[in-house]
A and B are shown apart, each in its own frame.
Chain A
Amino acid sequence: MPADLDTLAREQLAQVLRDRPDPATLDAGEDLAETYGLTSLNKVLFLTSLCRAADVGLERFTEDDLARMRTLGDVVEAMRPHADQKG
């Protein structure tokens, strides 16, 4: 299991964003679509990259799960149980 899922998530989100902001500056409570302009396509790309980096199977999530992931914090919380199982 990755040492710090939150850090991994920040790094992967920063990579999807056009100007690659400093991962530490991303606000885990902000809306991914409204604040960071993440489109549906890019949201799945972000989740795909994060799952790969965290060694969590993407098949564990449904489209409804994805719809509920509105913030970076939501994504980390949704991933955590699966990442813990890997540990």
Chain B
Amino acid sequence: MTASILNRIIAERPAHDGVLTVAGLGHRRAMPLAELHDRARAVAGALRRGGIGEGDRIGVLAANRIEWILLDLAALMLKAQTAGFEPGKFTPDAELVERYGLDQLYTDAPIPDGAPPAVRPIAEIARHADEDPPEIHAPLWEPEDCTTVKFTSGSTGVPKGLEATVASIDSSLRDVQGMFDHRPGDRLLVFLPLSLLQQRYWLYSALRWGHDLVVTTYQSVFAVMPAVEPTVVMAVPGFFDSARRHLEGRLADGVDAAKAAAELFGSRIRYLWTGSAPADPAMLRFFTEAGLPIFEGYGLNETCIATKNHPGAHREGSVGKALPGKEILIDADGVVCVRSDHPVNTAYTFAAPGESERMFKPGGLVRTGDLGHLDEDGYLYIHGRSDDVIVLDNGKKVVVRPIETRFRDTGAVAECVLYCRNQTGLVAVVSPHPGPVDRAAVAAALAAVNAGSEPDERISRVITADEPFTIDNGLLTSQFKPIRGRILERYRDRIADPKEGLHAR
């Protein structure tokens, strides 16, 4: 059996020159990964003195910061499990500790009165990191052990919790490395929340393969990027859409494309990584033509990275071919299913009855709910989510995602979500761009989208949201995907009122 990457990175102090930089507006701290390893051991020692050990679960509810990284590594060293909670979406109280069986919960949020002693300020971790590191004889993780609980975002209810196996993490790390060959001299930049396990993959990758890592926040990323000169930027399509708009503005001002790109991303970009949501083909083309190759992939929390375009195998319009440890199957309904040699898991740990059975099938298979097809060479194309299918009263199924994408890609709105509440026609709720709403542009976009649609797929009304969908107002996930249920909740009356909104002609 191939040796575990996770076991290796916790057991071996790095001998390479890789550096971790944690940066934000007005602050930047860099440390060799070897020093990080020492500090993580010091934190592990302190946690162990506090009674944390194998099988315990440590919650982390904090923005991206060095203490998050130290806690994650320290937990791995003790064979304790982490549970990463997205900041702003959870409260560090007794209910959270109880619901997810946490032995400790570290947070940078204000600790409410009455919180149990298990809830601790994460600043404590920085003090522990300054102690002398003890020898940690880390117990070995077995392939089926789970290092962490990850939570699915996008639900209106209680997030589902999924424990991730060591074998699945090792397998993804190894497969990604095979495709992108990250190496000393590379500098990967991450800014999405570290509560997302995939963001922490790049930490594990840096420790194993000796490249640099920069961790920042989404509030700071545009300020940090040019200063830290990354070679790889990991982001969701919404981020690259914003970057593209900014760059187009600079080009319109007469700035040279290469100079504008370097002003924003620094001058060392090797490639850009995107996934987690459908990407606008025009955006992908823009970056490629600007000399910044961008590679789209596909995967869910439940499958981890399933397919990925990469320098050795890239086909425009697709989300790439299956990773070596994955197999893509399209079922009789056209739904994409992912089979993994090393599944993330075979059930949720925290979910309502029946939810695991809907997603996880026998044989390491996950039925994603997304519709798609494979071409003759094995490249996967995603058409839409089957749970985004609206069934009309005439029995016709409308896959709304492509229509929403077409509306968004007109450029008139930032996002579009479709509903069909009364079976009387599709109603769009659109997220406006910053600034005053250009009603004429929205009307023109509506006409253009309808002109290219089948009769059943035409939008009858458009409701412009009172404010753009954002993470802060709870209408986008941390990966910038619109949250259908919450948008519906907020605009339910206007969606149902046939007099509301801009009507199609």
Contact = CB atoms under 8 A, between A and B. Distances in A.
A4 interface: no
Nearest to A37: B434
Interface string A24-55: 00000000011011111110110111001000
B25 A66 contact: yes
Contact of B26 (A38, A49, A60): A60
Nearest to A34: B467
Interface in A41-87: 41-42, 44-45, 47-49, 52, 58-63, 65-66
Nearest to A58: B223
A21 B398 CA distance: 37
A66 B221 CA distance: 13
B436 interface: yes
Given A61-B25, A62-B25, A65-B25, A44 B222 contact: yes
B438 interface: yes
Contacts of B246: 16, 45, 49
A59 B26 contact: yes
B288 interface: no
Given A19-B438, A44-B222, A63-B220, A37 B26 contact: no
A58 B25 CA distance: 8
Interface of B (DSSP majority class):
loop
Contact of B434 (A17, A44, A60, A61): A17
Given A44-B223, A58-B223, A63-B219, A39 B434 contact: yes
A37 B435 CA distance: 6
B263 interface: yes
Given A63-B25, A66-B25, A41 B221 contact: yes
A37 B433 contact: yes
Interface string A8-28: 000000011111010000000
A53 to B, nearest CB: 11
B27 A37 contact: no
A47 B470 CA distance: 19
B291 interface: no
A36 B434 contact: yes
B242 A42 contact: yes
A45 B222 contact: yes
Contacts of A34: 467
B435 A44 contact: no
Nearest to B471: A40
A18 B412 CA distance: 9
Given A18-B433, A18-B435, A19-B438, A63 B217 contact: yes
A59 B436 contact: no
Interface in B205-223: 217-223
Contacts of A37: 432-435, 467-468
A58 B223 CA distance: 7
Contacts of B432: 37
A36 B432 CA distance: 10
A39 B31 CA distance: 31
A31 B222 CA distance: 21
A40 B223 contact: no
Contacts of A45: 222, 242, 246
B286 interface: no
A34 B471 CA distance: 14
Given A34-B467, A47-B223, A58-B25, 6 more contacts: A16-B434, A17-B435, A37-B435, A37-B468, A41-B239, A63-B217
Interface of A: 15-19, 21, 33-34, 36-42, 44-45, 47-49, 52, 58-63, 65-66
25 contacts: A15-B249, A16-B434, A17-B434, A18-B438, A19-B438, A21-B436, A36-B434, A37-B467, A37-B468, A39-B242, A40-B219, A41-B242, A44-B25, A44-B219, A45-B222, A45-B242, A45-B246, A47-B223, A48-B222, A58-B223, A59-B25, A61-B26, A62-B26, A63-B219, A66-B25
Interface of B: 24-27, 217-223, 227, 239, 242, 245-246, 249, 263, 432-436, 438, 467-468, 470-472
> 10 shortest A-B CB distances, which residue pairs?
A18-B433, A62-B26, A17-B435, A37-B434, A44-B222, A37-B468, A63-B25, A40-B219, A41-B242, A18-B435
